Amino acid sequence: MSTIKTVFAPAKVNLCLHVLGKRTDGYHDLAMLMQRVTLFDRLDLELVAGGDVTASCPGLVLADGEQNIVERAARLFLAYVSMRQGVSIVVKKNIPAAAGLGGGSSDAAAVLESLDELLGTGLSRTELMGLGSRLGADVPFFLYKKTAWATGIGDQFEAWPGVPFVTLVLVNPGIEVSTVGVFRNLGLTHSRPIARIPRFPEGTSGLVRLLHNDLEVVTCQRHPVITTIKERLVAGGANGALMSGSGPTVFGLFDDYSHAVQVAQSLSAETDWWVEVVSPL
């Protein structure tokens, strides 16, 4: 049995995000269309002697101990399967942190799945997703592995066919946004039902009509640069643009790959923003 595994954890975007109301447990009921994209963190996992779990990320300071979601995922998994096993995890980050792209959650999902394979514990997808929900609201989505209409706190899924063929330009202005802070300042005045899964759009224009994010109003007020990015993408020819998650990353939808690349190169040359061209997974 191999004791080393390399995996690639994808980012996600929210094609729509509706906040339906606040729950008694402090979470919010959501309705979201979630799509994985071709931007990946790389994780190298190795089973090592002893019982210590370590996680490192060259070039990025990870939070120590229990605050590190990658380490927490490994410890949670080992406790769940009642195994004492040393694990070394090295994360090469390509997905910006605290960016609305789900990088940390995707990394945690990859750790749960990889340890299940390395240790031969044979957990079901349902069990893995249950563990994931104890780590963070987006973790179960990355274990679901499909484009999904997500409800509840983002942990109940209906498969969605996936988006029409488009190219996405991701733009991040290099600021970190607190998801907790955004939700705290949302100022919900009522709960509202959005129960229906969106109809599969015909072409890019139909997809653009789905674009919506209730969190934009809070994040854009605090960080006007997000509005500027959306305007730059649309001016460059994007069919539509939206902030992903709680931000600050914005994505623009393009029909033509070469056009998307030209816009991305232009934004990179003219600003100090992080820019990446990706496709739906």
Distance of CA 77 to the CA centre of its chain: 21
Secondary structure (3-state) at 151: strand
Query: What is the predicted pLDDT for the residue at 63?
Result: 52
| Alpha carbon distance 244, 213 (integer Å) | 8
Closest C-alpha to 39, from 219, 269, 264:
264
216 vs 168, 179, 244, CA distance in Å?
18, 12, 9
Q: Which of 29, 107, 116, 138 is catalytic?
A: 138
Query: What is the predicted pLDDT for the residue at 259?
Result: 97
Say which residue, 133 or 247, is predicted with more confidence: 133
Note whether 77 and 116 are within 8 A (CB): yes
Of the listed ranges 149-158, 228-237, 263-272, the least confidently predicted one is 149-158
Structure tokens at 113: 């799945």
Is 167-278 assigned to CATH 3.30.70.890? Answer: yes
Report the residue count for the chain. 281
pLDDT tens string 102-154: 999 999 999 999 999 999 999 999 999 999 999 988 999 999 999 999 998 78
Mean pLDDT across 32-39: 96
Domain 4-159 classification at class level: alpha beta
Q: Would the pLDDT of 65 be above 50? A: no
Strand arrangement, sheet containing 274-278: 240-243, 250-254, 167-172, 274-278
Structure tokens at 141: 């989505």
Radius of gyration of the chain (CA): 19
- The answer to whether 230 is a known catalytic residue is no
Query: What is the predicted pLDDT for the residue at 66?
Result: 45
Query: What is the predicted pLDDT for the residue at 98?
Result: 83
Strand partners, 87: 47, 53
Hey, what's the torsion of the CAs at 213, 215, 219, 221, to 10 degrees? 90
Q: Is the pTM of this model over 0.95?
A: no
Contacts of 106 (CB under 8 A, 6+ apart): 9, 10, 11, 12, 41, 95, 138, 142
Contacts of 270 (CB under 8 A, 6+ apart): none
Secondary structure (3-state) at 18: strand
Question: What are the domain boundaries of the chain?
Answer: 4-159, 167-278
Q: Would the pLDDT of 187 be above 70? A: no
| Alpha carbon distance 205, 277 (integer Å) | 20
Of the listed ranges 52-61, 120-129, 189-198, the least confidently predicted one is 189-198
Answer positive or negative: Cα dihedral of 171, 177, 183, 189.
Answer: negative
Query: What is the predicted pLDDT for the residue at 195?
Result: 60
The chain-wide mean pLDDT, for the chain, equals: 90
Of the listed ranges 155-159, 176-180, 212-216, 273-277, the least confidently predicted one is 176-180
